[in-house]
Structure 1
Amino acid sequence: MHWNIVAECISEINLIIIWFYSRKSNLVPSLRNRLFQFCFFVTFCAMSFNIASTVMIAYPEKFPCFLTWLVTTVYFVATPLMGMAYFFYTLAAVFENKGNTMKIIIWTSLPGTVYFLLVIMNLFSNVLFSICPDGTYTRGPLISVTYIIFYLYGVAAMAVVVIWRKYMEPAIRRILVIFPMIALLVIIVQQLYPTVILSGSAATCALLIIYLYLQNKQNSVDYLTGLPNRQEFLKMIELLIRKSKYFNITVLSLRGFKRINDTYGQHNGDLFLQEIASYLKSISEPHCLYRFGGDEFVILSYGPFDASMSHNVKKLEQRMQQPWISGENSCVIPAVIGVVGYPECANTAEDLISGIEYAVSMAKAASDTNVYYCGHEMLASLRRRRKIVEILEENLKNNSFSVYYQPIISTATGKYTVAESLLRIPDSPLGPLFPNEFIPVAEETGMIVEITYQILDKVCKFVNRLSENGIEFDGVHVNFSGQQFSQIGLAEKVEGIIEANHTPFSKIKIEITESILADNAETVEEFALEMQQRGILIELDDFGTGYSNIVSVMNTPLDTVKLDKSLVWSAMEKKETAAMVKSLSTVFHEMGLQVLAEGVENAQQEAFVKSCGIDYIQGFYFAKPLPEEEAFAFIRNAQAKQEMIRGIQP
Structure 2
Amino acid sequence: MSWNIAAECISTVMLCIIWNYSRQSHSLPTLKNKLFQICFLTTFLAMTSNILSTICIQNTGVIPLWVNWPVTTIYFIATPLMGVIYFYYALSILYEYQPHFPKKWLLLLLPAAVYLLMVISNPFTGCLFSLSLETQYEQGPLIITTYLVFYIYCLFTCVTVVALGKRVDSTIRNILACFPLIAALVVIIQQMFPEVILSGSAATCALLILYLYLQNKQISIDYLLGIPNHKEFLNSLQLQIKRHKDASFTILLVSLRNFKQVNDTYGQQNGDEFLKTVCNYLSNTVKPYQLYRYNGDEFAVLIPESHKETVIRLVKTIDERFNQPWKSHDFRCMIGMVIAVTHYPKSADTIEDLINALEYTVSVAKDGKNGNICYCGPGMLDHVKRRFKVIDVLKDALTQGGFQVYYQPIWSVEKQCFTLAESLLRLPSTPLGPLYPSEFIPIAEETGLIVDITYYVLDTVCRFVHDLLESGVTMLESVTVNFSGVQFSQHNPAEKVISIIESHGIPYRMIKIEITESVLAESRQELEEFIDLMHAKGVEVSLDDFGTGYCNLVSVLSMDVDVIKLDKSLLWAAQKDQKTAIMMKSLSRSVHELGMRVVSEGVETDEQRAFAEECCCDWIQGYYYAKPMPGKDAKRFLTERIEKS
Q: Normalized against structure 1, the TM-score is what?
A: 0.76
2:287 to 285, 288, 291: 285
Query: Kindly tell me: are residues 359 and 327 of structure 1, through their superposed partners in 2, closer, same or farther at Cα, counting changes over 3 Å?
Result: same
Structure 1 residue 379: deviation in Å?
Answer: 5.1
Structure 1, 252-261 or 287-296: larger mean CA deviation: 252-261
Distance 2:592 2:330 in 1: 58
2:403 pairs with 1:404: no
Distance 1:571 1:615 in 2: 18
The structure 2 residue matched to 1:572, chosen from 557, 568, 575, is 575
User: Match for residue 99 of structure 1?
Assistant: 98
**Contact map agreement 1:76 1:119 (CA 8 A) in 2:** no
How far is 1:345 from its partner? Answer: 1.9
CA shift, 1:237, in A, is: 2.2
Q: Distance in 2 between matches of 1:493 and 1:208?
A: 46
**CA-CA distance at 1:633 after TM superposition:** 3.0
Pick closer, same or farther for the CA change 1:92–1:413 going to 2, 3 Å: same
Which residue of 1 is the match for residue 241 of structure 2? 241
Which residue number in structure 2 is paired with residue 300 of structure 1?
302
TM-aligned CA distance change 1:120 to 1:601, over 3 Å: same
CA separation in 1, counterparts of 2:529 and 2:240? Answer: 56
The alpha-carbon deviation at position 87 of structure 1 amounts to 1.0
Structure 1, unaligned runs of 5 or more: 644-650
Closer, same or farther: CA 566–216 of 1 in aligned 2, 3 Å: closer
Say if 1:628 and 1:97 are closer, same or farther in 2 by CA, change over 3 A.
farther
- Of the candidates 603, 608, 613, which is equivalent to residue 600 of structure 1? 603
Tell me if the contact between 1:289 and 1:298 (Cα under 8 Å) persists in the aligned partners.
Answer: yes
- Kept in 2, the 8 Å contact 1:408–1:617? The answer is yes
Q: 1:246 to 1:610 in 2, by over 3 A?
A: same
* Contact preservation (8 Å) 1:184, 1:202: no
Give the equivalent residue in structure 2 for 1:112: 109
Return the letter of the residue paired with 1:87: F
Asked if the contact 1:112–1:149 (Cα under 8 Å) also holds between the matched residues in 2, the reply is no
In structure 1, C-alpha distance between the alignment counterparts of 2:80 and 2:492, rounded to whole Å:
68
2:97/2:242 contact within 8 Å kept: no
Which residue matches 1:436? 438
**Counterpart contact for 1:585–1:595, Cα < 8 Å:** yes
Kindly provide the amino acid, as one letter, of the partner of residue 442 in structure 1.
Answer: A
Aligned partner letter, 1:297: F
- 1:380/1:72 CA distance change after superposition, 3 Å: farther
For the residue of structure 1 that corresponds to 2:176, the secondary structure is: helix
Alignment match, 1:634: 637
CA distance in 2, matches of 1:287, 1:211: 26
Q: CA deviation at 1:356?
A: 3.5
Listed one character per residue, the Cα deviations across residues 54-86 of structure 1 (whole Å, up to 9, x for unaligned) are: 999x99xx999xxx9x99999977764542322
Return the alpha-carbon distance in structure 1 between the equivalents of residues 241 and 38 of structure 2.
Answer: 24
Deviation at residue 254 of structure 1 after TM alignment:
3.8
**Structure number, greater radius of gyration:** 1
Residue from 455, 460, 463 that aligns with 2:462: 460
More off after superposition, 528-537 vs 281-290: 528-537
Flag the 1:276–1:572 CA change in 2: closer, same or farther, 3 A.
Answer: closer
User: How far apart, in 1, do the equivalents of 2:339 and 2:523 lie?
Assistant: 31
Q: Deviations over 1:273-331 (max 9, x none)?
A: 44333322321221122344454433222211513322212211222332333343333
Question: Is this contact kept in 1: 2:566–2:598, CA < 8 A?
Answer: yes
For each residue in 1:468-526, what CA deviation from the matched residue of structure 2 results, as whole angstroms up to 9, or x when unmatched? 44446234431332535667766665555445434355544443434445666787678
Task: Evaluate the alpha carbon distance shift between residue 547 and residue 23 of structure 1 in structure 2; reply closer, same or farther with a 3 A threshold.
Answer: closer
> 1: CA distance between counterparts of 2:511 and 2:40?
74
Work out the CA distance in 1 between the residues paired with 2:265 and 2:374: 29
Give the conservation status (yes or no) of the 8 Å contact 1:32–1:89: yes
SS in 2 for 1:36: helix
Percent identical pairs in the alignment equals: 46
Task: Give ranges in structure 2 of 5+ residues lacking alignment.
Answer: none
The Cα shift of 1:199 comes to 7.1
Partners of 2:454 and 2:413 in 1: CA distance: 29
Moved more, 281-290 or 72-81: 72-81
1:646 paired residue number:
none
Does 2:540 match 1:543? no
Q: Is the 8 A contact 2:97 2:238 kept in 1?
A: no
Of 389-398 and 293-302, the range deviating more from structure 2: 389-398
Q: Among residues 295, 311, 331, which one is paired with 1:309 in the alignment?
A: 311
Greater shift, 392-401 or 197-206, is seen at 197-206
Determine if contact 1:459/1:476 at 8 Å carries over to the other structure: no
After superposition, where does 1:418-567 map in structure 2 within 5 Å? Answer: 418-471=420-473, 473-481=475-483, 483=485, 484=487, 494=497, 497-505=500-508, 507-517=510-520, 536-547=539-550, 561-567=564-570
Q: Which residue type is aligned with residue 567 of structure 2? A: D
- SS of 1:28's equivalent in the other structure is coil
CA-atom RMSD in angstroms: 5.2
Change (3 A) 1:632 1:92: same
Preserved contact between residue 407 and residue 416 of structure 1 (Cα < 8 Å):
yes
Aligned-pair distance for 1:404? 0.3
> One-letter code of the match for 2:34?
R
Structure 1 residues 416 and 305: CA distance shift in structure 2, 3 A: farther
2:627 corresponds to which of 624, 634, 637: 624
> What is the TM-score of this pair, normalised by structure 2?
0.76
My pick for the range that moved more, 309-318 or 146-155, is 146-155
Indicate how the Cα distance of structure 1 residues 139 and 361 shifts in structure 2: closer, same or farther if over 3 A, else same: same
Matches within 5 A, 1:306-455: 306-364=308-366, 366=368, 369-378=371-380, 380-396=382-398, 401-409=403-411, 415-416=417-418, 418-455=420-457
Distance 1:556 1:207 in 2: 59
Q: How many residues align?
A: 634
How many Å separate the matches in 1 of 2:532 and 2:210? Answer: 63
Does the aligned pair in 2 maintain the 1:12–1:44 contact within 8 Å?
no
Aligned residue identity for 1:110? L
1:110-154, Cα deviation, whole Å (9 max, x unpaired):
35326635866997997967999xxx9998876645543322211
Partner secondary structure for residue 275 of structure 1:
helix
